[in-house]
Amino acid sequence: MEPLAEIRSLLNRYEKELGNAQNVVKQKLASQNNTNQQMQAFQDKLLALEHEITQEYQHYERLLYAIMTVCILFIIAMCTLMLMVKRHLAEIISRISSYVDKLANGDLSSALALQSRITEINQLKFRSKNCMIISIC
């Protein structure tokens, strides 16, 4: 009769173990559900952050392009200004050179005609008049 008692004991134990296994499976499913919900919430937050970061990146990209455009326009304006100053100075140097050449050839009748807002050039014009006065005297 021992085997029958042992079988009954195993059957009782089997039912308890089966109940425990079912509880573990239920807990595992509940934990898996909870994990899936948390993962979904995490993915939703990541998508929201991705959208926010993309918008901020586009804002700074537009700002960078605006700054680059302003810098390029500033460089173009400065180059244009430098070309104008260069052309103006080249014209003044050409007139002074022509005047000095006339003076070197003995032509003291011509006058130096310079129109400039640059103080040093206007001083040069004043000195050339003084030189004419001194050389005529």
Q: Could you tell me the pTM of the whole model?
A: 0.53
**Which one is predicted more confidently, 7 or 128?**
7
Phi then psi for residue 32, to 5 deg, are -65, -40
The whole domain housing 23 covers: 2-136
Q: How far apart are CA 130 and CA 117, in angstroms?
A: 20
pLDDT 10s digits, 86-112: 998 898 888 888 888 888 888 777 777
Give mean pLDDT, residues 66-79. 98
* Rounded (5°) CA angle 71-80-99: 150
Provide the residue count of the chain: 137
Per-residue pLDDT tens over the stretch 14-60: 888 888 999 999 999 999 999 999 999 999 999 999 999 999 999 99
pLDDT band at 123 (very low <50, low <70, confident <90, very high): low
Half-sphere exposure for 128 (CA within 13 Å, toward CB): 20
User: For the chain, how many structural domains are there in total?
Assistant: 1
